[in-house]
Structure 1
Amino acid sequence: MTLFRLECKTHTKTLLIWTIVVALLTLGLVSLFPAMKDMGLQQMDLKSMPKEMLKAFNLSDMAAFATIKGYFGYEFQYVMIATGIFAAMLGTNALSREESEGTITYLYAQPISRASIVSSKMLANALIYSLYWVVSMVVAFLVCLIFKESGASVSDLFKGFSQLTFTGWIMGLTFLGVGFLLSSLLSSNKSATSLSLGLVFLTFILGVVGKLKDTFKTLVYFSPVDTALPSAIFKSGIQWNYVWTDLIVLVLSVLLTFWIYRRKDLKA
C-alpha cells in the first residue's frame, strides 16, 4: 500500500498537466465546430482521393462533419493518439525508473516481494490513467453539449460517449500493459519516451495500412487506437472483436511482466 501511494503521488503532477492540456485542446477543437459547419466543411471536394485513402484517415463520410458527433469523431482521434502515448509512457517508466534512478535500493530494504512491486505499480498507474481518461471524457462531453448543433439528440450523444469512454479505457490499459512489459525488460528509463512514441505511432500506422486494402485488414487488430476510434464508435458502436483482441494483449502483457520481472537481475 505504501508503494501504491508513492506511485500515485509521483504521477500527480503529470496527471494534472496532461488532463489540463487535453481538456484545453478538446475545448479549442470543438469550439471551432460552429464556424467549420458554416463554412460547409462537409462539401470539401475529396473525390480525387481514393476511397481506401479516405477510409484509412476516417474521411469517407464528409457529410457527417455537419454534426457534432461527426466533427468530434474525426478531430478527437488525434487526442486518442496522445492518450495512447500517455498510457504507454506511464507503463514504460514504471519499473525501469527504479533502476535508472537508483531507488530500487529503497525497495530492496522493504518487506515486499517483486510480485507486490509490480502489482502495486500496475494498480497505481491504472488508477492514474483511469482518472485522466474519465475527466477528459466528461470535459469532452460537456463541451460537445455546449457547441452541438440544434436538434442534436443529447441521449444519442451520451450513448456514443459512454461507448467511447469504455473502449478508450480499454485502449489505454492495453498500451499501459505493453508499456509495463517493455519496462520489465529495460534497466533504464532513458528510452522510455521514444519507445512509447514508437509503439503508439507504429500501431496506428499498422491500422491505417490495414484499412487501405482488404489484404492487410488483419493489421488493424494490431492497432489499439482503432478499438476506440471515435468516428467508428459513434457510427457503428463498439467493435467487440477489437476489444477482445486488446484484452488478450493486455492479459498476456501483464502475465509476461510478472514472469520476467521475477526473474530479472535487478541492479541496485
Structure 2
Amino acid sequence: MEIALLAFFAVGYFVLAGADLGVGMLLPYLGRTSAERGLVLASITPFFLGNEVWLVAAAGILTGAFPTLEGELLSGMYVPFVTLLLGWVVRDAGIWLRGRVDRGAWRAGCDGAVVAGSWTVTLSWGSVFTGLAAGLSSLIVVPAVAALFCVHGLALAGLRLRDGLQERARRFSGSSGERTIYALTSGGMALVCLLAGFRLPLAENLADPATLALLTPSLLVITPLLVASQVWLWWTFGRAQVRSQ
C-alpha cells in the first residue's frame, strides 16, 4: 500500500508540476515582452502551489514509511537535492514577487528568477534520475529529462493560453494538437518516475509494522482529500484560458 501511494503521489507531482516547470523554463520564448510573460505566468499561477503539494506528500510518505531509504538518498545525492530546493525557492519567489513592485527592472529580475529556478529544479531532477539509473550517462539522462519537461510545458501552455501566445506554444505540436502532446508527455513523465522508482529497494526498507499501522490510515484519509482539492482547483480555474491583451 505505501509503495503504491508513494508512486501515486510522485507521478502526480511530475505530471502536474512538471508542466509548470516546463512553462517556466520556456518563459522567454513564450513571452517576448514583460506583459506577455505576465500572461504566461498567469496561466500557471492558480495551480503551481497545489501541484507542489504532491511532492510534499510523496516526501512525507518516503520519510515516514521508508525512513532508512530516505536517509540514504539524501546522503548519497546531497548536492542535487539541495540544488533542487534552492531552485524551487527561487522559482516560487519569482512568481510570487513579480507583481509586488510596478517597475520593469523588478519584473525582469523576477522573470529571470522563474527561468533560472525552473531550469535548476529540472536539471536537478535529471541529476537525481541519473544517480538512480546506474549505467546511464548524465549526458543522456539530463538533456532527455529537460526536453521532456519543456515539451510538457509547451503542451500545457497551448491548452491554457489563447491568441498569439497559444500559436507560439502550438508550433511544436502542429497537427497533433496540444491535448495529444500533453497526454503523451504525461505518460512520459509517469514512465520516467516509475522507472526511477523501480531502482529503489522500497520493499526492503519499509518501516516497522507499528509505524505503518499509524501511517497507513492517515494516508487513506488524506489521499482522497488531496485528489478532491486538485479536481476542484482545475474545475474552478482550469476552464478559464489566458488571452493576449
TM (norm. structure 2) is 0.32
TM (norm. structure 1) is 0.30
Which has the higher Rg, Structure 1 or Structure 2?
Answer: 1
